[in-house]
Amino acid sequence: MPHYGYSIIGLDPDKTAKASGREARISPKAAREVCQELRGLRIDAAKSYLEEVIALRKAVPYRRHDRKVAHRKGLHKSDSGRFPVKASQVILKVLENAENNADFKGLDLERLRITHISAYPGRALRRIIERSHGRATAYDEQLVHIEVVLTEEG
C-alpha cells in the first residue's frame, strides 16, 4: 500500500482541514479545469457550483485545454467550456469529505475557504484494443489524484 502525502506544506493544523481522493477514474484535463475554477471559493459556493455543473446548468470554463471546445453562454473567464459531470461528482465527494473533516476538528463551517485544490495524474492502467489480423494497440487509462485544503478565515 503506497503512502500518499500532500503537495502543500506549512499549514496551520488548527485552522485547516484536508482531504484527498486518490486514483479516481476521471479525466485529468476535466479535473484540472474544475479545480482551477473552485480555487479560492467558499465551501458553500463551491458545492452549489458543482451541483449546477452536475445538473448541466452551468458550464466550467476551459482555459488550458480549450482546443476544439465549443463556446458556452454565461462564462466570465473564457469563451469555451464544458460540463464535466463525472469529474464534478468525484470532486464534490472529496470536498464534502474535507468539510466533514473540518466539522470534526471543530472549525466554523461558515468561514471555510478553499485555499488549495489540485488534480494531478496518478498511475496509468495499461489497456489494449484488439485489432484485426492478430494485432493490438496499447493505450493507458490515466488515474487522477485530487487534494483539497480548507482554511478557516478570521
**pLDDT class for 151, splitting at 50, 70, 90?**
very high
Average of pLDDT values for 70-96?
94
CA of residue 117 relative to chain centroid, distance: 7
| Residue 10: inside a domain | no
pTM value is 0.92
| 55: CATH | 3.90.470.10
| Residue 1: inside a domain | no
Pairing relation of β-strands 136-152 and 112-130?
antiparallel
Q: How far apart are CA 58 and CA 73, in angstroms?
A: 9
| Residue 2: inside a domain | no
Number of domains, the chain: 1
| Residue 96: inside a domain | yes
| Residue 4: inside a domain | no
pLDDT of residue 70: 93
Q: Is the pLDDT of residue 63 over 80?
A: yes
| Residue 7: inside a domain | no
- Tens digit of each residue's pLDDT (9 = 90 or more) over 111-125: 999 999 999 999 999
pLDDT of residue 2: 79
Residue position matching grid coordinates 467558499: 42
Domain extent, residue 71, equals: 16-152
